[in-house]
Chains A and B, each alone.
Chain A
Amino acid sequence: MSTTVTKNPSSPAILEFKSSTFSVPVLVLSGSDVDLIQEQLERKISLAPEFFKNSPVVFDLQLLNKQGLCLDVATLVDILIKFKLLPIGIRGGTSGQVEIANSLHIPVYSIHNNLSQTEPFQQHNKIQTLPEQTGATLNTLINHPVRSGQRIYSAGDLTVAAQVSAGAEILAEGNIHVYGALRGRALAGVQGDINARIFCFDLQADLISIAGNYKISEDLDDNVRNKPVQIYLRENSLIIKDLV
């Protein structure tokens, strides 16, 4: 094929824009000490190195900025890249931070449900792919099995009144309830809610996570498997307790 392109309006389209939703881990920072960030990041990643390797990540600076702490976005991006993460977005940054992000070609996401967002960076928002929900009911109820290859995202709590198959993935910003066997991956508190919990009838999960704290199947003790449990976070570690 020749490389010169003739402008032909009738040539078949070879591209199109489609809208889709991805789930991307969000790194929520609440401190600005660069050494501490590196140290803790290293520890987190060592828990599931394969999971994090080349994983896209959005960093969230809202908590940090609320405390009046400041963090240089360029430095943070360098750290993330050093740990083989791929920063693809910033949230909750100040206008200065947003400006730096823009210069690094890092897209800006808005924080949804954030009513007092008057920051000028809203104008910079060219891409908004995080699911924006309005209205009161963000909770989701699924009445059928979630099958391998399927992925369900809830902006609130997620209740599955059936099983979740191996190879399926369920994500919720709030709690997760599974009234059946949980064999796939379940991630609660995906926007950083450390109080989120996972409840299930029969724990056989490939992976469980609350607010980014993971356990993979291999890490699950035999004495918590195959029974009803609840899972919650205490001091950054996942606690799995019998439900009854």
Chain B
Amino acid sequence: MARIIVVTSGKGGVGKTTTSAAIAMGLAKKGHKTAVIDFDVGLRNLDLIMGCERRVVYDFVNVINGEASLNQALIRDKHCDLLYVLPASQTRDKDALTQEGVGKILDDLSKDFKYIVCDSPAGIEKGAHLAMYFADDAFVITNPEVSSVRDSDRMLGILSSKSRRAEQNLEPIKEYLVLTRYSPERVRLGDMLSVDDVQDILSLHLLGVIPESKSVLSASNSGIPVILDEKSDAGQAYEDIVARYLGEERPHRFIDEKKGLFGKLFGGK
């Protein structure tokens, strides 16, 4: 049985797709067969971030409508054999996704995969709801600002009441906080909430902090999940997150301001 992870947030543009691509790649690189699904029907950008946009033949909606088999639609990642992408359709309207259809696809994938990562669209509409409905774990992506934190809080409420696990009275979805686009400088200047502030408001297990980083944009421009950029801070932060999710204990990094050259040479890591 696969473990289904939803990558979610109330707000758009916080880093869901970036995170979905990174952790899916991270899990696959650790030897787990992983599928990552784009639920953002109509926008479709997971395939861009994954660099497989020119290999899309069939999509999620084709499979739901029975126009293609799962095997036909799944795209094997070019960097890692154990990673597959199920792209969203760019042309179809959002109503194409149905709970029944999504459930069937996840069931089928579960037989063969260890992890299924669902990249959720923004908002609390149908697409977002379907992305989280079947989840076992939720990565709640939050930026260190009040509106994003509030949206995440709302999302957590929906996760705990409108999911399959909630409806069937099963063990609740495991919720993890991923704080992205974190800038210690801006926290110091008072422009952003600190890690502690966010944790205090959400009271949620912190899986990791991803720093605001230029490497994210350059990775996405070249269609490579940032986790493969092992030298970058964001790449390392995502690597930490995957390791922690799999049970490893690692200290949090990238929370304090960068040390100068001297500090880098002689201070800790």
> Quick check: A148 and B160 within 8 Å, CB to CB?
no
Bitwise, A146-165 to B at CB < 8 A (1) or not (0) is 11111000000000001101
Report B-chain residues with C-beta under 8 Å of the C-beta of A165: 153, 157, 201
Expressed in whole angstroms, the Cα–Cα distance for A181 and B203 within the complex equals 10
> Quick check: B154 and A180 within 8 Å, CB to CB?
no
Closest B-chain residue to A147, C-beta based?
B157
Q: Does B161 contact A (CB under 8 A)?
A: yes
Q: Which of A162, A163, A167, A181 contacts B154 (CB 8 A)?
A: A167
Report A-chain residues with C-beta under 8 Å of the C-beta of B150: 148, 166-167
Q: Does A168 contact B (CB under 8 A)?
A: yes
> Quick check: A150 and B161 within 8 Å, CB to CB?
yes
Bitwise, A14-52 to B at CB < 8 A (1) or not (0) is 000000000000000000000000000000000000000
A200 to chain B, nearest CB (A): 15
Report B-chain residues with C-beta under 8 Å of the C-beta of A82: none
Interface size on A, residues (CB 8 A): 16
**Consensus secondary structure, chain A interface:** loop
**Consensus secondary structure, chain B interface:** helix
Expressed in whole angstroms, the Cα–Cα distance for A240 and B93 within the complex equals 53
Expressed in whole angstroms, the Cα–Cα distance for A87 and B200 within the complex equals 41
> Quick check: B161 and A145 within 8 Å, CB to CB?
no
Expressed in whole angstroms, the Cα–Cα distance for A239 and B200 within the complex equals 27
Bitwise, B123-158 to A at CB < 8 A (1) or not (0) is 000000000000000000000000000100110111
Expressed in whole angstroms, the Cα–Cα distance for A230 and B4 within the complex equals 43
> Quick check: A148 and B203 within 8 Å, CB to CB?
no
Q: Decide: A180 near B203, CB < 8 A? Known: A144-B172, A148-B150, A150-B161.
A: yes
Report B-chain residues with C-beta under 8 Å of the C-beta of A167: 150, 153-154
B132 to chain A, nearest CB (A): 14
> Quick check: A147 and B203 within 8 Å, CB to CB?
no
Report A-chain residues with C-beta under 8 Å of the C-beta of B172: 144
> Quick check: A168 and B203 within 8 Å, CB to CB?
no
Expressed in whole angstroms, the Cα–Cα distance for A167 and B147 within the complex equals 12
Expressed in whole angstroms, the Cα–Cα distance for A163 and B204 within the complex equals 11
> Quick check: B157 and A149 within 8 Å, CB to CB?
yes
Q: Which of A145, A149, A150, A166 contacts B203 (CB 8 A)?
A: A145
A171 to chain B, nearest CB (A): 16
B26 to chain A, nearest CB (A): 28
Closest B-chain residue to A144, C-beta based?
B160
- Using a CB-CB cutoff of 8 Å, which residues 174-219 of chain B contact chain A? 200-201, 203
Expressed in whole angstroms, the Cα–Cα distance for A149 and B150 within the complex equals 10
- Using a CB-CB cutoff of 8 Å, which residues 221-261 of chain B contact chain A? none
Closest A-chain residue to B200, C-beta based?
A181
Closest A-chain residue to B146, C-beta based?
A166
Closest A-chain residue to B156, C-beta based?
A147
B206 to chain A, nearest CB (A): 15
Q: Which of B157, B158, B200, B201 contacts A168 (CB 8 A)?
A: B157
> Quick check: A145 and B156 within 8 Å, CB to CB?
yes
Besides A147-B157, A167-B154, A180-B203, 4 more A-B contacts (Cβ < 8 Å) are: A145-B203, A147-B158, A163-B203, A167-B150
| Interface set of A (CB-CB < 8 Å, partner B) | 144-150, 162-163, 165-168, 180-181, 183
